[in-house]
Structure 1
Amino acid sequence: MNLAEAIILKNTEKHPLKAAIGFKKKDAGWKELSWQKFGEIVFKTANALRNAGIQENDKVAIYSDNSSEWMIFDLAAMAIGAISVPIYSTNNAEQAEYIIDDSQAKIILVGDQAQYDAALQILQKESSSLETVIISKKAVWIKKEFSSFYLEDFIAKASPEFECCPKEYDDAATIIYTSGTTGTPKGVVLTHGNFIRALDAHFEFFKFKNFEEELSLAFLPLTHVFERSWSLLCLYGGARVYFLEDPKNISKALEEVKPTMMCAVPRFFQKVYAGVLEKAEEGSSLKKKIFGWAVETGWQTAELKRNERPVPFGLKIKEAVADTLVFSKIKKRMGGRLWFLPCGGASLSPEVTKFFESVGIHVTVGYGLTETTATLTLFPLTHFEHGTSGKPLPGVELRIGENGEIQARGNGIMKGYYNRPEETRKVFTEDGWFKTGDAGKIDDKGNLVITDRLKDLMKTSNGKYIAPQPVENLLTNNNFIQQIVLIAEGRQFVSALIVPNFEFLKDYLKKNNIPFTQWEDIVKNEKINDFYKEKIKELQGELSDYEKVKRFTLMPAEFDINAGEITPTLKVKRGVVLKKYADIIEEMY
């Protein structure tokens, strides 16, 4: 079955007037489209693409920030049997050109002026496969003589009457180029069947009640398999999805949209957690006691619910008081209605998931890759185990191979890397299992426990193996540390490059009468370095001596997407950072 057909036709027939998507235009409030209107626009766009000469299995690229147009274009491309190719909005012209050339995309949707200018540059090259550029925003200045059209004009004369191109489960739906922390991006081919079976498996796993009443806010990049799969799942199940264009506006959007569900990366939860703890620490002794009591009360309740045990009446009363005094204020800052938050992209410390569970927000930790259509494992609603990555979805099998590598097979496993048969062969075993490149184990209750990326495991000169992620998570859970990269491979001891949380550090400077000049000077300030030494010493108390950071360098600016230092989902590209800051690292040894 065609994925676009499975989403659009079912819901337009079931509840045509119910809201499907929400979006916010500049200087205006949030608006919604009903399923009927959403379906009409998707099918008008599909007809327009067909009229422009796009045929079955042609490639259609999307190079834009999150928007309703992004999702419309994606579903329209799949509806005609074309293959959509998302490009990160943060990619520069050279990176975008590589993906367009590799996939041989014919049409591209762009969002802003910089993306249009980059696409136009590619379009004008004789060797390029690109034929047409479509622009979602009228604010973008375009050159119509170079086959450039605003989306509104492109679809204006197209008919909303449309029959989706029939598709088999094994037919390609999309090619997603891995953002990757290492190596050249490879195009992961995912099929209509990968998506549909994975979506069905989620509903079988969770058995949601009244899912059509849920509202999700899409703020992670739709280009990434995590947000895209989650947003497609929400639409597939008839829930509303609001699209946030600029993730920097997440705090304001949460209060305006008041979502009930939202997927996020670990850094989002770490920042909320650290911020709450900092505020509690600044309060009076009475407020600290109330906060501690509330968290303990919430934890007792959460543990009973996790194990599906009844909550005594007295504890229910205590929980209601704790919610009124403490938790409601935390939840209000997140919109007030969030209860279900899938978390992926990297590991999340158990103390963070336990905290949110105490507050009454279920963080559904999961594990997966682009090559597995996102989810392999995740927390169920009950009987999950903190500190693990949950249990396999229905239709997913896991095993632990050589060197502790997690291997998988099942519904979501990719068809392969586009035009790279040799690379595809390398990631599959002879008996057909996909090799994830991650190390882990399966506990006696069937939960997956991630140890680390096999490529990231470090061996000190003393022969000790160190998995950097758990240590990095431990330190970035603190509100004064924004990013960190551990160094240990072939070294006598562990060192680190640390990016401070500049917002919290600025407050610290004021409170301690340290004049602010520029961050390059502040990170070299002796008092600031002493402060971080004490902070790190305190945080590392439970670690083995060989795992502890012995020396560190404070960085004057965050690792940056545009500089290629982090991925669009905020994972540090370790190899890039180690190479770029090699001189600074050597000074620590």
Structure 2
Amino acid sequence: MNLAEAIIHKNVEKHPVKSAIGFKKKDGTWKELSWKKFAEIVFKTASALKDAGVRENDKVAIYSDNSAEWIIFDLASMAVGAVTVPIYSTNNAEQAEYIINDSQAKVILAGDQMQYDACLEILKKENSLQTIIVSKKAVWIKKEFSSFYLEDFIAKASPKLEICKKETGDTATLIYTSGTTGTPKGVILTHGNFLKAFDAHFEFFRFKNFEEELSLAFLPLSHVFERSWSLLCLYGGARVYFLEDTKNIAKTLEEVKPTMMCAVPRFFQKVYAGVLEKAEEGSSLKKKIFNWAVETGKQIAELKRNEHPIPLGLQLKESIADMMVFSKIKEKMGGRLWFLPCGGASLSPEVTLFFESVGIHITVGYGLTETTATLTLFPLIHFEHGTSGKPLPGVEVRIGENDEIQVKGNGIMKGYYNKPEETRAVFTEDGWFKTGDAGKFDEKGNLVITDRIKDLMKTSNGKYIAPQQIENLLTNNNYIQQIVLIAEGRQFVSALIVPNFEFLKEYLNKNNIPFTNWEETVKKDQIVNLYKEKIKELQEHLSDFEKVKKFTLMPSEFEIGTGEITPTLKVKRNVVLKKYADIIEKMY
């Protein structure tokens, strides 16, 4: 079945007047569209695409920040049997051009002025691109170059549409990997990949009243994680609100009050570190109350996790802990969040246990673009902190050579677009997909990720270092924003550390340390010593050979635009190591 049909027809028939999506209007208020109205706009957009010459299996690209228009264009493209090609809104013109040319996209939806200007230059080169649609009228366009505002593009189109029939194995989308190494590859995902993955999630969790849930789309829709999750929510009849500017996340959480939201580990680490920092600054009485509440919360969380009854006395303590501490933390996140899928990198058990004690369930998962996101994840009960949970129904996982995680199942891609050799290289002879990640199973059948096989480092002393675990441990601290470990072929571990400049600025003010610029500040003895102390404290329990012995504080963050990090905030290790080779050599 066509993915667009599976999402729209069922929900329009079931509850036409119930809200489907929400978005912010120009005046700053939030507006919702009913399933009936949402379907009408999707069908009008699909009809307009057909009128513009888009045919079955043609490629339609989206180069925009999250918005209601993004998801409408996505479903409309699939409804006419076309293939959606998302492009990260943070990609530069050159990266966007590569994806448009590689996929041979005919039509593109552009979000802002920069994205439109980049598309216009590509269209002028007379490649595959024929039409540019722009989602917002605030963007200045050149209509003589086949450019249209979405509102005008669909104005005269029919709201009636016969959705293109699709088989399970038909291509729904090409998602280009942001790639921490090498050239982006177009991952071919099918209608069946998505639909079977959605059904597996509902079988795994057995949600109650899912149609009453409200999810906030916060991560980029161009990434497989948010797109799969938002489409899953719509498939299950839940509402989805779209956050266009991620800088407004704190304010938006309080306005929208979502019940669900997927996020990456850095989001949780920042909230966790911020709460601990604030507690540390309080009076000794406030600290005692906070620590007591957390311990009480942990006891309750452990009983709930193992489905044990909660004694009456502990229930009373829970009410007091919630009233005095937890309710305030939850209110800052909107007050209603309870289910938070998390992926993209590992998350420390102390962070998941802390949120669990507050009453917010982080569902840690593991997956890749090539596996339609989720392979394994935490169930609602009987999960194990520090693991990546258990395989979804329909997913098989085995540990192969070099401890590599290998998988089979519903979500596995058809292959890389126009790259048969690269496709063959990631499958074993007996058809298992090679993830490139190292892992193992614990005694209860939970998957534990040890590291990216390519990232494992061997010191000159022959010791293996798994950098992600150590980097994760150190970025749990509020003073550390980003970190890159160096150890391959070296006699000890060193690191490039990007401070959390916001917290460091507060430290400077509190300690009357004059600020000139970050170049000079990060070299000051007081600041270097502050970080020495924090790092010493954080890595106390590590083996001596794993500990960071030397580090350099960086004066600015690693950037997406410079290619140092991916749009999902993963550091491109090879780029960073090459760019800062001189600084690294000085540490040895």
Alpha-carbon deviations, 1:13-71, whole Å to 9, x = none? 10000000000133321111000000000000000000000000000000000000000
Question: What is the correspondence of 1:79-228 to structure 2 with a 5 Å cutoff?
Answer: 79-126=79-126, 128-228=127-227
Alpha-carbon separation, structure 1, partners of 2:28 and 2:461? 60
Q: Which residue of 2 aligns with 1:50?
A: 50
Q: Does 1:406 align with 2:377?
A: no
Alpha-carbon separation, structure 2, partners of 1:321 and 1:366? 32
Alpha-carbon separation, structure 1, partners of 2:265 and 2:564? 18
Q: Which residue of 2 aligns with 1:276?
A: 275
Alpha-carbon separation, structure 2, partners of 1:183 and 1:494? 25
Task: Give the alignment's TM-score, normalised by structure 2.
Answer: 1.00
Q: Which residue of 2 aligns with 1:76?
A: 76
Task: Say what the alpha-carbon RMSD is for the aligned residues.
Answer: 0.5
Q: Which residue of 2 aligns with 1:579?
A: 578
Alpha-carbon separation, structure 2, partners of 1:169 and 1:184? 29
Q: Which residue of 2 aligns with 1:329?
A: 328
Alpha-carbon separation, structure 2, partners of 1:521 and 1:8? 57
Alpha-carbon separation, structure 2, partners of 1:26 and 1:37? 20
Shift of 1:163: 1.3
Matching residue's letter, 1:10: K
> Does the residue aligned with 1:205 lie in a helix, a strand or coil?
helix
Shift of 1:565: 0.7
Alpha-carbon deviations, 1:156-192, whole Å to 9, x = none? 0011111110000000000000001111000000000
Question: What is the correspondence of 1:318-357 to structure 2 with a 5 Å cutoff?
Answer: 318-357=317-356
Alpha-carbon separation, structure 2, partners of 1:572 and 1:324? 40
Alpha-carbon separation, structure 1, partners of 2:557 and 2:332? 25
Matching residue's letter, 1:109: L
Higher deviation after alignment, 187-196 or 159-168: 159-168
Alpha-carbon separation, structure 1, partners of 2:333 and 2:508? 28
Alpha-carbon separation, structure 2, partners of 1:365 and 1:27? 37
Shift of 1:442: 1.0
Alpha-carbon separation, structure 2, partners of 1:339 and 1:393? 21
Q: Does 1:377 align with 2:351?
A: no
Alpha-carbon deviations, 1:433-479, whole Å to 9, x = none? 00000000011211000000000000000000000011001100000
> Does the residue aligned with 1:279 lie in a helix, a strand or coil?
helix
Alpha-carbon separation, structure 2, partners of 1:397 and 1:309? 30
- Unpaired stretches in structure 2, ≥5 consecutive residues: none
- Unpaired stretches in structure 1, ≥5 consecutive residues: none
Task: Give the alignment's TM-score, normalised by structure 1.
Answer: 1.00
Question: What is the correspondence of 1:295-314 to structure 2 with a 5 Å cutoff?
Answer: 295-314=294-313
Alpha-carbon separation, structure 2, partners of 1:565 and 1:252? 29
Q: Which residue of 2 aligns with 1:514?
A: 513
> Does the residue aligned with 2:363 lie in a helix, a strand or coil?
strand
Alpha-carbon deviations, 1:249-303, whole Å to 9, x = none? 1001000000000000000000000000000000111111100000000000000
Matching residue's letter, 1:340: F
Q: Which residue of 2 aligns with 1:559?
A: 558
> Does the residue aligned with 1:579 lie in a helix, a strand or coil?
helix
User: Any runs of at least 4 consecutive aligned residues in structure 1 with deviations exceeding 6 A, and if so which?
Assistant: none
Alpha-carbon separation, structure 2, partners of 1:26 and 1:175? 32
Q: Which residue of 1 aligns with 2:2?
A: 2
> Does the residue aligned with 1:217 lie in a helix, a strand or coil?
strand
Matching residue's letter, 2:482: Q
Alpha-carbon separation, structure 1, partners of 2:289 and 2:245? 36
- The total of aligned residue pairs comes to 588
Alpha-carbon separation, structure 1, partners of 2:563 and 2:202? 37
Alpha-carbon separation, structure 1, partners of 2:336 and 2:164? 39
Shift of 1:359: 0.2
